[in-house]
Amino acid sequence: MNIGDRVRLLHGREEGIITRFIGPDQVEIAIEHDFTIPVMRREVVVVAAEETKFFGQNSHANELVNAKESLEPKAPLISTKGLYVALTNQSEELLAVTILNNTDFDLLFTYGEEQNGRYKGITNDKLNAKTFKVVGHLHLKDFDKWPDLVLQFIQHRVNGVNLLEPGNRRLKFKASSFYKSKKIAPIINKEAYVFQVDIKQENVDLLKLQDKMADPALETSPENYSLKAPSHEVDLHIQKLTDVDPATMSNSEMLKLQLQVFQDNLDRALAANMHEIIFIHGTGNGVLRNEIHKLLSRNKLIKFYEDARKEKFGYGATLVRLK
């Protein structure tokens, strides 16, 4: 049992990551959203199976799969597109920079970072088809200081008949678009901030763009898209969010659901260009309020947040002003 191991409580459904040892008999575990709890060592077990499920097969299994692929006949349809950079949460604040090769080609690549005009090569490797590799880590708290990520790559396939051009892609991150890129990443099947890097960037013809904008026949009909803005006041008390008896839920399950509802309503409020929104979290032990304030403090699209009207909510609600 080591720091960084994913473990599960023997007498509960919570899972987390060991962050430190507390004396000879206790460990500290970070569960959902970096909420930490101390537990006895004998009360936890390492979850090796979950690691295999989410982070891929072991190297021996990969060797068997690769050997099997070399013996199988080539599929008539071969995918050349599907190269991604995904930023996956290792914790609420730490992101792993992951290269995903979701094509039927092997990938030779170099990865580096550039900041203030200075480039630094980080790593290079070969990725087999339908595999991935973690190449670095970034901290959300340092978002404004992130370097540009630079990926250079060549695709190759034994007995291939298509000659593919080498690729060179630079990723610059802006808060306005970064937080909208979250989706399920291919191969690893986890939620991540996902960016496809093998789509050819086309130059914009300004004259054609102006013509399109001036043509009323090309205007998007409001019937084609409907965004449901959230209520001005969102109640996050667990009884308002689920029909399940809260007595049957663990603290981490309740907190996870409450934060999911919070994030969904916040995202919709930003997309709908609302000026403000109020989240009613109650007082309690302050865990939900603290987690909400932690997430708000990292969001660059928030103008400010404060306790809502005390005469109405006491200290049990947070007013969020949006940019």
CATH number of the domain encompassing residue 92: 2.60.40.1600
Q: What percent of the chain has pLDDT over 70?
A: 78
Q: Are residues 45 and 85 in the same domain?
A: no
Residue 134: its pLDDT value, please? 93
Q: How far apart are CA 131 and CA 187, in angstroms?
A: 7
Residue 150: its pLDDT value, please? 95
Residue 171: its pLDDT value, please? 93
Residue 76: its pLDDT value, please? 47
Q: Has residue 158 got a pLDDT over 50?
A: yes
What are the beta bridge partners of residue 27?
21, 39
pLDDT-wise least confident of 38-42, 250-254, 303-307: 38-42
Quick check: is 227 in a domain?
Answer: no
Q: Are residues 138 and 177 in the same domain?
A: yes
Quick check: is 312 in a domain?
Answer: yes
Higher pLDDT, 166 or 310: 166
203 phi/psi in degrees, rounded to 5 = -70, 140
pLDDT in tens, 249-277: 888 888 989 999 999 899 888 888 889 99
Q: How many domains does the chain have?
A: 3
Q: How far apart are CA 107 and CA 157, in angstroms?
A: 9
Q: Are residues 114 and 167 in the same domain?
A: yes
pLDDT in tens, 190-245: 899 999 998 765 455 556 656 655 655 544 444 444 567 888 999 999 888 888 88
Q: Has residue 291 got a pLDDT over 50?
A: yes
The residue among 51, 70, 87 that closes a domain is 51
Quick check: is 116 in a domain?
Answer: yes
pLDDT, the chain, mean: 80
Q: Are residues 33 and 88 in the same domain?
A: no
Q: Are residues 139 and 239 in the same domain?
A: no
Q: Which residues fall within 8 angstroms of residue 61, CB to CB, at 6 or more apart? A: none
Q: Are residues 289 and 241 in the same domain?
A: yes
Q: Which residues fall within 8 angstroms of residue 25, CB to CB, at 6 or more apart? A: 40, 41, 42
Q: Strands across the sheet with 317-322, in order?
A: 233-235, 276-280, 317-322, 302-307
Q: Are residues 42 and 86 in the same domain?
A: no
pLDDT in tens, 21-33: 787 888 877 775 4
Q: How far apart are CA 173 and CA 189, in angstroms?
A: 23
Q: Are residues 39 and 114 in the same domain?
A: no
Higher pLDDT, 290 or 52: 290
Q: Are residues 24 and 102 in the same domain?
A: no
Q: Are residues 91 and 170 in the same domain?
A: yes
Quick check: is 209 in a domain?
Answer: no
pLDDT in tens, 74-99: 444 556 678 999 999 888 888 999 99
Higher pLDDT, 104 or 203: 104
Q: Has residue 310 got a pLDDT over 80?
A: no
Quick check: is 70 in a domain?
Answer: no
Quick check: is 73 in a domain?
Answer: no
- The closest of 90, 109, 91 to 99, measured between CA atoms, is 109
Range of the domain at 176: 78-196
Tell me the helix, strand and coil percentages in the chain, rounded to 5: 30, 35, 35
